Amino acid sequence: MANICTGCGAALQSEHPEQPGYLPSASAQRESPLCQRCFRIRHYGEYVSAKVNPEEYHQRLSEIVKTKSLILYVLDVLDLSGSLLPQAADIVAGIPVIAVVSKVDMLPRDTHLEHMADWVRRVLLESGIVAAQVHFVSGRSGFGLEELIQEIEQQVPEKIYSLGMANVGKSTLLNRLMQAWHTKGEFTASPVPGTTLGLTGVEVQLSNGSRLSLVDTPGLWHGRRAVDYLCGSCLRQAVPQRSIRPRVYQIGAGQSIFIGGFARLDLVEGRFQGIVLYVSNELIVHRTRLEKADEFFHAHQEDLLQVPCANCTTRLGPLTTYRLTTRNQRFPNLFETDVLPISPQGRDIVLSGLGWITLSGSPLQGTLKVSQNISVTTRPRMIGDLNRERGWMGSRLH
């Protein structure tokens, strides 16, 4: 892998200072060259992302060596369905896969993970990926790393590749592994998607003495997550950065809840009930009467609700309306795609990149309005059903 930046894998060039891989020619001969963009991200904390489009992405990933390799398929625990890589099965093509669910330090402190593994395996299987193992880790705190390392060392691969959507934590994870194997080097990681741009690797020696290369790969840009559109200051406030403190609200018919300026949930009819928000602790949540909600939004979108700022609001697009219902009915309008049915066991409504709302399943009719470019999906309750399937035994997260 000559002439590439060791931090981000971009091809080095000395002609275009504003483009990826720029390195003034005088420094291009260094042993571990680092491009100017990586230097700025690391030393000045700049947010300089570059989109890798799908064609480029598949071209880069076609360099993956298929024999004696192992893939660490990295998924962001806050957005599992948004972490599924389209056509992952084609890329993987027979290479053994370990699913690594990252960022678990962001989950509330009393989350238990054991029984979520089956669910992750099921979700991956539906997308055509057979993951022999599912590991829950934090690249930030180091949680789960030891077990993952044991697993890798048992498999004795010659190459390990990270794989996953942009921003899920691939480079951070590999940096941790590198540290654990006492290897010098660092892949560039940053809070914005589109940090790693090409394949870049280092040689490491495992504790049993065998050598292998650890290869970081770019992520595929998503375009459906909040983080894909936010400026640095909105991102710091709206995208969870620390362990999420669940916020419980008791609401009844005729009430609305704003989640920053990103989303608004209106309970039109139904029982008085508790809803739980798993979003950034810094995000403003405001409850108001439904009849006042429009007026409130117009008056206070930019001051009380704080984020997104005007520029980010434009990029995120206007609010899209979804219908929430616990009624088990056939919808007369077959084209009504924006209905979110809530089963009696309750449901999580995931706002991609922001977190999720847990509804208990108590009867309700309502609407949810969410910025157009943020994808909205539902799943069984992650904390609750998936967590309690077989009791509360097991290790704690923190």
Convert residues 196-235 into a mask of x (bound to Mg ion by CB under 5 A) and - (unbound).
x---------------------------------------
**List 69, 111, 171, 367, residue binding ligand GTP (CB under 6 A):** 171
**List 38, 72, 166, 279, residue binding ligand GTP (CB under 6 A):** 166
Question: Toward ligand GTP, which CB reaches closer, 6 or 102?
Answer: 102
**List 71, 106, 113, 234, residue binding Zn ion (CB under 5 A):** 234
What is the DSSP code (8-state) at residue 80? T
**Distance in Å, CB of 24 to Zn ion, minimum:** 14
Question: Toward Mg ion, which CB reaches closer, 220 or 305?
Answer: 220
Dihedrals phi, psi of 53, to nearest 5 degrees: -80, 160
Alpha-carbon span 3 to 10, nearest angstrom: 9
Which of the residues 56 through 115 are near Zn ion (CB under 5 A)?
Answer: none
Q: Which residues contact 356 (CB under 8 A, 6 or more apart)?
A: 78, 278, 279, 348, 349, 350, 382
Cite the DSSP H helix spans in the chain: 36-44, 54-61, 88-92, 116-126, 145-155, 170-180, 232-238, 290-300, 310-316, 385-388
Question: Toward Mg ion, which CB reaches closer, 83 or 195?
Answer: 195
Which of the residues 301 through 360 are near ligand GTP (CB under 6 A)?
Answer: none
Q: What angle do the packed helices 170-180 and 145-155 form, to 10 degrees?
A: 80
Q: Are 274 and 364 in contact (CB under 8 A)?
A: no
Question: Toward Zn ion, which CB reaches closer, 236 or 323?
Answer: 236
For every residue of 346-389, DSSP letters joined together read -EEEEETTTEEEEE---SEEEEEEEETTS-EEEES-TTTHHHHT
Alpha-carbon span 84 to 126, nearest angstrom: 10
Question: Toward Mg ion, which CB reaches closer, 144 or 193?
Answer: 193
Of 60, 96, 347, 288, the residue nearest 196 (C-alpha): 60
**Distance in Å, CB of 192 to ligand GTP, minimum:** 7
Contact between 190 and Mg ion per CB under 5 A: no
**Distance in Å, CB of 144 to ligand GTP, minimum:** 9
Question: Toward Mg ion, which CB reaches closer, 201 or 308?
Answer: 201
**Distance in Å, CB of 196 to ligand GTP, minimum:** 3
Convert residues 128-147 into a mask of x (bound to ligand GTP by CB under 6 A) and - (unbound).
----------xxx-------
Contact between 189 and ligand GTP per CB under 6 A: yes
| Number of neighbours of residue 90 by Cβ within 10 angstroms | 12
Which of the residues 213 through 232 are near Zn ion (CB under 5 A)?
Answer: 231
Question: Toward Zn ion, which CB reaches closer, 4 or 152?
Answer: 4
Alpha-carbon span 353 to 78, nearest angstrom: 7
**Distance in Å, CB of 94 to ligand GTP, minimum:** 23
Q: Which residues contact 343 (CB under 8 A, 6 or more apart)?
A: 326, 361
Which of the residues 241 through 260 are near ligand GTP (CB under 6 A)?
Answer: none
Per DSSP, the three-state class of 89 is helix
Alpha-carbon span 398 to 387, nearest angstrom: 16
Question: Toward Zn ion, which CB reaches closer, 144 or 219?
Answer: 219
Question: Toward ligand GTP, which CB reaches closer, 195 or 371?
Answer: 195
Contact between 237 and ligand GTP per CB under 6 A: no
Alpha-carbon span 276 to 359, nearest angstrom: 7
Angle at 170 between CA 169 and CA 176, to 5 degrees: 90
Query: Which residues of this protein are in contact with ligand GTP, per CB under 6 A?
Result: 102-103, 105-106, 138-140, 164, 166-172, 189-191, 193-196, 218-219
Query: Which residues of this protein are in contact with Zn ion, per CB under 5 A?
Result: 5, 7-8, 35, 38, 231, 234, 309, 312
